Amino acid sequence: MNLSRHLISLAAILALLLAACASDGPARLEPESMPKSAPVPPIATVRPHAVDSPHGSRSDEYYWLRDDTRSSAEVIAYLEAENAYKAAMTAHTQALEDKVYGEIVARIKQDDSTVPYRLRGYWYYTRYETGEEYPSYVRKAGTLDAPEQVMLDVNSMAEGHGFFQVGATAVSPDNRLLAWVEDVVGRRQYTLRFKDLASGAILPDSIPNVDPYLAWTADSRSILYLEKHPETLLGFRVRRHVLGTDPAQDPVIFEQQDESFYTAVAITKDERYILIVSQSTVSTEYRYARADDPALEFRVFLPRERDHEYHVEHLDGRWIIRSNWNAPNFRLMEAAVGEEGDRSKWREILAHRDDAFVHGFDVFRSFLAIEERSGAMRKIRIRPLDGGRDFFIAADEPAYTASLDQNPELDTQVVRYEYTSLTTPSTIYDYDIRTGERRLMKRMPVLGDFDPANYRTELVWAEARDGAKVPVSIVYRAGSRKDGGAPMLQYAYGSYGATMDPAFSIARVSLLDRGFVYAVAHVRGGQEMGRRWYEDGRLLRKRNTFNDFIDVTRFLVKQGYADGQRVSAMGGSAGGLLMGAVANLAAGDYRAIVAQVPFVDVVTTMLDESIPLTTNEFDEWGDPTKKEYYDYMLSYSPYDNVARQAYPAMLVTTALHDSQVQYWEPAKWVARLRTHKTDANPLLYRTMMEASHGGRSGRFQRFREIAEEYAFILDQSGIGE
């Protein structure tokens, strides 16, 4: 095949790279400054293709960029040409990227470890060594003074792999065996493996194509795992593996028949019951069996029912249930084991409130720890089970995030939680519910001259065009004046009910110290303001997400937080959809946009049930076989709404093996943008060949990705050092 008609030649790419590397522009670049000999971008071939639907056909001239095998020489050559173009266009910012990367790495304590937690007489933690990309999973028997046992040395395991990720670990009830899953591609198709912790031997049992959900039976002889569908990659079969037997003969314990449901396997905190969880956007169904039952006879907890979501934990013969039955913001109920199927026998523990969202909970022998959200903040409520009064764990700042940490033991009066804010590094506390004493266990070290007192954080409320009040978390360097002169980076997600809680970033300091304002817009589609906030940002109300983001930008500029000519926006995955919509709807409000693994071809993807996640998300985006949803999705899908207009400078990133947002979505989007945009702003597209939806797997590799994005934003904001 003659690729020269479609792609810039390798010789031309090399020449462009050399020309860009030879460019010696000034240290400080204005946003419009580019190397004098600007490289020519790759132009993808136009090949007519019709995407059919029950409501008509759409033209997709770049559909050919889809290659499910990821082996097409033509497609790979095009992606590599885009990577080369991106490298040439950013050669003048390489020194800035290196500087930012060096700053980030200089702030981290490279030989660090997590706070140990105790489980069945062992202390477990992970630790990093200086210069290493990956952690080691370790434990100590009895006391923290005991010798350390390395269960997994991930750096050794990752040798020879461009990508390596441990997705889950589970130690058997007798403490002798370790099960873990690993991914060496980035496709989230894990392999289940086993290690004898007594001898150190890796067992021959190996099971490919599984999800990261594991549950041991009480006798430590068998384990339940979740098999993925080979095409959709959905976990759909729960199987039971007996150690030492042929995995091909593993019996199927449960098979998910409804492709709109995700499946998971878990075990209760007291390890008495194994759970099989079926979860869709709007419905849940649990099954449970005693972990010590050789037959593993599963019983349905409560049959799935549309618009009823629930989550359960076992405590002393009863179930603690988080449920939205007649409670949109959820409440806590309890029911005796065996009576859970009759809701008339459920008893309310924590009542529903319109102004508070029950985010989650953990059980202890004498109390419940409840994550509750109100006023856009996540807090921790303690509910004594002896009839005592509830109370909240106090916070140190007006804008913060408190969340439950590892708490594997039932018989304790101490709850471990994490506290963070936009200015406070992640901090682990042990809180004694009897005395109210809070013990600092660890604060993430930030090396160098970082001082939280040098930064200010605010929670402000921006009015959206329909009158809704949108919370916005903001952080900036102390002493900054709200005179409309500061560059700003605004971030949001706004889908699936996910909450973007204010949290510290060791990398973000590099922006703040250069005068940036950083803002998190808690737009509708998340659950920062409760379930209604989510409902108002999905399905036929999805446009609220985009409008909220734009209205927050305009509010912050009007209030003097930011220079309207130097506002950048960032979002990933479904947040990348937000970036694509914003680029079409309000291009003039943004100097630069970074779209990470963006979901931008909404209609085509949702019409194709062979693509991972499609069927699970009909209740998030809509079912396009129904005309009302088809038309609405088509009205905002970024790929379908690319226009002949000026666009901001854009950096678009993806991963070749991403299983959640396929690489061809952003590839097609960029190709169409190239032929439609009427401006001279850079449009850069980078495909990571060895990465997953979350990026590359090593910690330093991830810092390099951040530095790359920050250098792009800084350059577009006129900051060259």
Q: Are strands 455-463 and 469-477 parallel, antiparallel or unpaired?
A: antiparallel
Q: How many residues does the chain have?
A: 721
Angle at 579 between CA 575 and CA 584, to 5 degrees: 145
Alpha-carbon gap, residue 511 to 136, rounded angstroms: 31
Alpha-carbon gap, residue 234 to 260, rounded angstroms: 10
CA dist 108 to 112, 128, 539, 700, Å? Answer: 9, 11, 41, 10
Structure tokens at 680: 């001279």
* Residue 279, beta-bridge partner list: 262, 284
pLDDT for 691: 67
pLDDT for 244: 96
Alpha-carbon gap, residue 407 to 404, rounded angstroms: 8
pLDDT in tens, 247-264: 999 999 999 999 999 999
Q: Residue 235 — very low, low, confident or very high, per pLDDT cuts 50/70/90?
A: very high
Residue 634 has what DSSP assignment? H
Alpha-carbon gap, residue 351 to 333, rounded angstroms: 9
pLDDT in tens, 430-483: 999 999 999 999 999 999 999 999 999 999 999 999 999 999 999 999 999 999
Diameter of the chain measured on Cα atoms: 78
pLDDT for 696: 76
Q: What is the mean pLDDT of the chain?
A: 93
Alpha-carbon gap, residue 253 to 288, rounded angstroms: 12
pTM for this structure? 0.92
Alpha-carbon gap, residue 616 to 623, rounded angstroms: 10
pLDDT in tens, 615-631: 889 999 999 999 999 99
Gap between the terminal Cα atoms of the chain: 45
Residue 365 has what DSSP assignment? S
Structural domains for the chain: 3-25+35-105+449-716 (3.40.50.1820), 174-308 (2.130.10.120)
Is residue 647 within 8 A of residue 681, CB to CB? The reply is yes
Q: What is the CA radius of gyration of the chain?
A: 26
Instruction: Evaluate if residue 108 carries a pLDDT over 70.
Output: yes
What average pLDDT does this structure show over 702-720? 96
3-class SS of residue 567? strand
Indicate the range of 6-20, 97-111, 368-382, 664-678 predicted with least confidence.
Answer: 6-20
Is residue 697 within 8 A of residue 72, CB to CB? The reply is no
pLDDT in tens, 147-158: 999 999 999 999
Give catalytic residue positions.
Answer: 573, 658, 693
Instruction: Evaluate if residue 9 carries a pLDDT over 60.
Output: no
Residue type (1 letter), 496 = Y
Residue type (1 letter), 59 = S
3-state SS of 500-540?
CCCCCCCCCHHHHCCCCEEEEECCECECCCCHHHHHCCCHH
What residues contact 405, with CB distance under 8 A and at least 6 apart? 115, 416, 417, 418, 428
Query: What is the layout of strands, in order, in the sheet containing 331-336?
Result: 310-315, 318-323, 331-336, 347-350
